[in-house]
Amino acid sequence: MSTRIDARLWAADERTTVIGGEWQGGDGDQIEVAEKATGEPLLIMREASLEQLDRAVAAAKAAQPGWAARPADVRAGVLRRAADLLEQHHDEVVEWIVRESGSVPAKAHAAEYLQALDEFREAADLAERTVARPLPPHGEDASVAERVPYGVVGVITPWNVPFTLAMRTVAPALALGNAIVLKPDHQTPVSGAVLIGRLLEEAGLPAGVFNAVPGQGPSVGSALVTHPDVSMVSFTGSTAVGRTIATLAAPYLKKVALELGGKNPHVVLDDADIEGAAAAGAWGNFTHQGQVCMAIGRHVIAAPVLEDYAAELARWARGLRVGDPFREDVELGPLINARQADRVMALIEDAVAQGAELLAGGERRGNFVQPTVLKGVTPAMRAYAEEVFGPVAVVVAAADDEDAVRIANDTEYGLSASVHSASPERAEAVADRIVSGMVHINGQTINDNAWAPMGGTKASGSGGRFGGESNADMFTYTRWRTVRKDADRGHFVARPAVP
């Protein structure tokens, strides 16, 4: 078997749509995919048409029962081979992610390549350990709770962590016997779908089990959500679009998993190690230019240590280098597009106009925004409530622990949180009262791996969890199966009437 994935060839030929094992150009509108740091085109492609989407769903529907019927170790074997192939293609995968999404190589390596390896291998193990659970028989010969794949899973993913966020659904959903139709964001179709399709194809996944339909959200994306043969939708993206997806899917009563935005509090109590808390705060806020759902959205700092913390955070902000992550040695690359850079600058200007103190940054060169620290942010400012999705630290003063809890919860979101204190017990007492899907004591908010339950509450998600055992609940339903040798004759006392 060849071990080449050559995404470059597929992308150059504009073959970014995969239907039933066939790579083809899209029949829809033309899309230019730019290198985010330079604005130069990486590829010009066409999005999949609605007719191609129909064919992709039909291919998935036809291939799924045969795939689900394969023994678990065969499904696991395909995923393990895909992981081995990914190891061989580290450099190609990292380069695509860096150039297509504007990630620095360290993020592309750790948060995408390494995590995707773990996602493949954990999913393979999950396939093998997900077995029917015996139940006490009640008159039957056998009674079990078995796991059944949903069928065709439609996957819609964002551009910020395009490879991993697709992989964390694709790998476990496949492992458990589902087929996939994946719609990556139109700004990252290669990292978000082509690379994954090529790895799975070379690993021996049967044709039709994985399909990809790159395209725009409102056209291809919404048609995928409402397609009657798509039995589950796994969506990762903004809360605004998540609400649209939930509304579109509602009449079909299909399973919908929503992983959405955040405004994650980083709480620092008055006895915390300020230098350590600020280092965690800088990492949690500025990683990937702040374009991470779990990024720190608010630094909630006890008033007595506010000045020291903010000064230390500003020192971090001034020390981080910003530039082209493919050609320069930098910690931060560009924002995804000009519209997002405009929005981030507008949030900074609004805060400063209303009295926030600019301790660092605040400048922009093209789509590159300097790491920025805003002190004294109040609820009247947009940056207090809105998810920034940029390298902007929003520092808010808290009078005491009670006030810190109030500020941490003063948001519609509930994804991740962190709390710093010299006393882990005191930090945990605060953490217990923060409403969030994840919380890290003396850590920071960006934390994810293939085993831990990842997901949000409130407006950050619909309650499901990715990772480890949670993936079995996410990508299968449980069916109760009983078996008898002789007919169950029921319990009527009367007899059938004499003819």
Residues annotated as catalytic (active site), given as ranges? 259, 293
Question: Is 238 or 482 the residue whose CB approaches ligand NAD more closely?
Answer: 238
Interface with ligand NAD, residue 122, by CB under 6 A: no
Q: Using CB under 6 A, which of the segments 31-39, 233-241, 279-287, 491-499 binds ligand NAD?
A: 233-241
DSSP 230: -
Interface with ligand NAD, residue 244, by CB under 6 A: yes
Residues 158, 414, 443, 464: which binds ligand NAD (CB under 6 A)?
A: 158
Shortest distance (Å) from residue 424 CB to ligand NAD: 26
Count CB atoms within 10 A of the CB of residue 487: 6
Interface with ligand NAD, residue 217, by CB under 6 A: yes
Site string for ligand NAD, 405-434 (x = CB under 6 A): ----------x-------------------
Site string for ligand NAD, 436-465 (x = CB under 6 A): --------------------x----x----
Three-state DSSP class for 59? helix
List the beta bridge partners of residue 461: 259
Residues 58, 86, 98, 241: which binds ligand NAD (CB under 6 A)?
A: 241
Site string for ligand NAD, 358-387 (x = CB under 6 A): -----------------------------x
Distance from the Cα of residue 121 to its chain's centroid: 18
Q: What are phi and psi of 299, to 5 degrees?
A: -90, 110
Task: Name, in order, each residue with C-beta under 8 angstroms of 243's C-beta and a sequence gap of 6 or more.
Answer: none
Interface with ligand NAD, residue 160, by CB under 6 A: yes
Shortest distance (Å) from residue 290 CB to ligand NAD: 10
Q: Is the dihedral of CA 461, 467, 473, 476 positive or negative?
A: positive
| Token pair 């390549």: residue | 113
Site string for ligand NAD, 276-315 (x = CB under 6 A): -----------------x----------------------
Q: In which region does residue 466 sit, left (phi positive, over 0), alpha (psi from -120 to 50) or beta (all else)?
A: beta
Interface with ligand NAD, residue 218, by CB under 6 A: yes
Residues 38, 143, 238, 482: which binds ligand NAD (CB under 6 A)?
A: 238
Which of 468, 483, 471, 464 has its CA nearest to residue 149? 471
Question: Is 293 or 360 the residue whose CB approaches ligand NAD more closely?
Answer: 293
Shortest distance (Å) from residue 472 CB to ligand NAD: 19
- Is 494 within 8 Å of 473 (Cβ atoms)? no
Shortest distance (Å) from residue 74 CB to ligand NAD: 30
**Structure tokens, 285:** 């806020």
Q: Using CB under 6 A, which of the segments 77-85, 232-240, 278-286, 376-384 binds ligand NAD?
A: 232-240
Q: Using CB under 6 A, which of the segments 117-125, 127-135, 235-243, 282-290 binds ligand NAD?
A: 235-243
Indicate the burial class of 249 (C-beta count within 10 angstroms; 0-12, 13-18, 19 or more): buried
User: What is the Cα–Cα distance from 183 to 8, expressed in whole angstroms?
Assistant: 19
Distances (CA, A) of 73 to 1, 149, 346: 20, 16, 53
Question: Is 218 or 319 the residue whose CB approaches ligand NAD more closely?
Answer: 218
Number of residues that bind ligand NAD (CB under 6 A): 31
- Helix 115-129 / helix 162-175 crossing angle, nearest 10 deg: 10
Q: What are phi and psi of 95, to 5 degrees?
A: -65, -45
User: What is the Cα–Cα distance from 69 to 457, expressed in whole angstroms?
Assistant: 35
Shortest distance (Å) from residue 67 CB to ligand NAD: 25
Interface with ligand NAD, residue 221, by CB under 6 A: yes
Question: Is 158 or 208 the residue whose CB approaches ligand NAD more closely?
Answer: 158
Q: What are phi and psi of 84, to 5 degrees?
A: -60, -40
Site string for ligand NAD, 258-277 (x = CB under 6 A): -xxxx---------------
Question: Is 397 or 415 the residue whose CB approaches ligand NAD more closely?
Answer: 415
User: What is the Cα–Cα distance from 171 to 192, expressed in whole angstroms?
Assistant: 13
| Ranges within 163-182 binding ligand NAD (CB under 6 A) | 165
Question: Is 233 or 269 the residue whose CB approaches ligand NAD more closely?
Answer: 233
According to DSSP H, which parts of 70-182 are helical?
Answer: 72-88, 90-101, 105-107, 115-129, 162-175
**DSSP state string for 412-475:** SEES--EEE-S-HHHHHHHHTTS--S--EETS-S----SSS-B--EETTBSS--BSTTHHHHHH
Interface with ligand NAD, residue 470, by CB under 6 A: no
User: What is the Cα–Cα distance from 357 to 282, expressed in whole angstroms?
Assistant: 18
DSSP 54: H
Interface with ligand NAD, residue 189, by CB under 6 A: no
Residues that bind ligand NAD (CB under 6 A): 156-161, 165, 183, 185, 216-218, 221-222, 225, 236-238, 241, 244-245, 259-262, 293, 387, 389, 415, 456, 461
